[in-house]
Amino acid sequence: MAGPRITVVGSVNLDLVVRCEALPQPGETVTGASLERFPGGKGANQAVACSRLGAAVTFVGAVGRDPFADEALVGLREAGVELEFRGTDEPTGTALITVDSGGETTIVVSPGANRLVGGFDLAPSDAVLCQQEIPDEAVIAAWEQASGLFCLNAAPARRIPVDPDLAVVNRFELESLARTDGLVALTLGAEGAVLLEDGEEVARAVPPKVDAVDGTAAGDAFTACLLVSLLEGRDRDEALARACAAGALAASRLGAQPSLPTADEVDAILGA
Ligand code: ADP
């Protein structure tokens, strides 16, 4: 069976990471380890996640005309995602990340080209998936053009400008949802997730126990897996259980895109 067709309209970043003993205080300079560079951005992460889970994915975004662009897109290319991106005069989106020896981080995101996502003309697909690292106008345009299901992961937290069919939020992002007529998935970290319809709980799932080493992209894996599972026609309980398993797998591995699981890995951890 061919997988569902999903269009992701979202952000792509290059994550620049420096590990150091202790995070610098304002005005302080500390010496860190060698610079590490990883493709990231919630849009790109979720597009890669959907593709690993068996969907045919198109990613619509924007990058700069700079050497960071190719590096930021490498994960999408390796995952076989079709790319429709604008080259802009803004720099490619960048996240400047410092990590101390205890895993505490500081992150400054420079959206750059992600601020210019827009002006697209979406081909029909089974679903359109957005996050909030692009302008509201781009989210609204994607919502207006969506021919199938519209799913919004309301991260980072900001008042959402549309009424999605499916919204995915964590505890902090819940307040950004004024009200939606659709389904709302609320993620609760290691406790799992609940699915709400008209404010009423319609499903609840607990993730398999894992040794959590890095929560980065757990929400991205969850969102992608919930959407793909629902589009595959799985019932709500099964879709939510699979999404929780995907989030747990991502939390049990280091990094963002490298930690995103395949459908086979989700089957395996659920004992299917
Ligand atoms: P976000 O990273 O967006 O805040 P969560 O931390 O709620 O999202 O994680 C998303 C999902 O990933 C959770 O619903 C859960 O299924 C899974 N998950 C996250 N952290 C853990 C963990 N420590 N152990 C098991 N599963 C986890």
Which of 170-179, 202-211, 231-240 is least confident? 170-179
Q: Tell me how far the alpha carbon of residue 93 lies from the centroid of ligand 1, in angstroms.
A: 25
Which atom of ligand 1 is nearest the CA belonging to 193? 14
Distance CA 179, CA 148 (A): 20
End-to-end CA distance of the chain: 18
Report the largest interatomic distance among the alpha carbons of the chain, rounded to a whole angstrom: 57
pTM: 0.95
Q: What mean pLDDT is predicted for residues 225-232? A: 98
Measured CA to CA in angstroms, residue 93 lies from 87, 113, 198, 237 at distances of 12, 6, 36, 36
Contact 153, 177 (CB under 8 A): no
Whether ligand 1 lies within 6 angstroms of the CB of 208 is answered as no
Contacts of 6 (CB under 8 A, 6+ apart): 47, 50, 55, 56, 57, 58, 125, 126, 127, 128, 129, 227, 228, 231
Confidence of residue 82 (pLDDT cuts 50, 70, 90): very high
User: Per residue in 211-221, pLDDT tens?
Assistant: 998 888 999 99
Is 220 noted as a catalytic residue in this protein?
yes
Q: Tell me how far the alpha carbon of residue 124 lies from the centroid of ligand 1, in angstroms.
A: 31
Q: Tell me how far the alpha carbon of residue 185 lies from the centroid of ligand 1, in angstroms.
A: 12
User: Per residue in 237-267, pLDDT tens?
Assistant: 999 999 999 999 999 998 899 999 999 999 9
Q: What mean pLDDT is predicted for residues 202-211? A: 96
Contact 155, 213 (CB under 8 A): no
User: Per residue in 131-186, pLDDT tens?
Assistant: 999 999 999 999 999 999 999 999 999 999 999 999 999 998 888 887 778 899 99
Domains in the chain, CATH or no CATH each: 5-271 (3.40.1190.20)
Give the chain's mean pLDDT: 95
* 272: pLDDT strictly greater than 70: no
| Helix/strand/coil for 183 | strand
Which atom of ligand 1 is nearest the CA belonging to 188? 7
Of the candidates 183, 182, 179, 205, the residue with the CA atom closest to the CA atom of residue 194:
205
Residue bearing the CA closest to ligand 1, atom 19: 189
According to the model, what pLDDT value does residue 1 have? 58
Distance CA 117, CA 120 (A): 8
Distance CA 230, CA 185 (A): 12
Which atom of ligand 1 is nearest the CA belonging to 208? 25
Whether ligand 1 lies within 6 angstroms of the CB of 189 is answered as yes
Set 15, 165, 220, 267: catalytic member: 220
User: Per residue in 17-27, pLDDT tens?
Assistant: 999 999 999 99
Contacts of 258 (CB under 8 A, 6+ apart): none
According to the model, what pLDDT value does residue 216 have? 86
Whether ligand 1 lies within 6 angstroms of the CB of 222 is answered as yes
Whether ligand 1 lies within 6 angstroms of the CB of 270 is answered as no
